[in-house]
Amino acid sequence: MVSSSILMCMGALTPIITSDTDFVWFFDKEVMKYSSKDELHKLLTQVFEGDEIVKETLRAAEKYALKNSPKQIVGEFMKLFDELLRGKVA
């Protein structure tokens, strides 16, 4: 999976398993990464058994999705524009 696909799916709050590549370097606990066939097998087993790591991953994904939601991003831009209009930003 590439990062754009992950970002589109993250809001669904289902566990995302991806190979550990340069495309997903900026994700930490939001996705489950594997580097080998054995790691993939372990992650899949954990997902199907409802392991605690899955719950932790989903919590991190939800936090990431909320922090980077369009509403939050627009709010930051509006705040910046307001500061620019008021001359508060150098």
More confident residue, 8 or 51: 51
Q: If you average pLDDT over residues 33-40, what whole number do you get?
A: 97
3-state secondary structure the chain: CCHHHHHHHHCCCCCCEEECCHHHCCCCCCCEEECCHHHHHHHHHHHHHCCHHHHHHHHHHHHHHHHCCHHHHHHHHHHHHHHHHCCCCC
pLDDT at site 1: 54
Share above pLDDT 70 across residues of the chain, in percent, rounded to a whole number: 96
> pLDDT band at 44, cuts 50/70/90?
very high
pLDDT at site 5: 85
Q: If you average pLDDT over residues 46-59, what whole number do you get?
A: 94
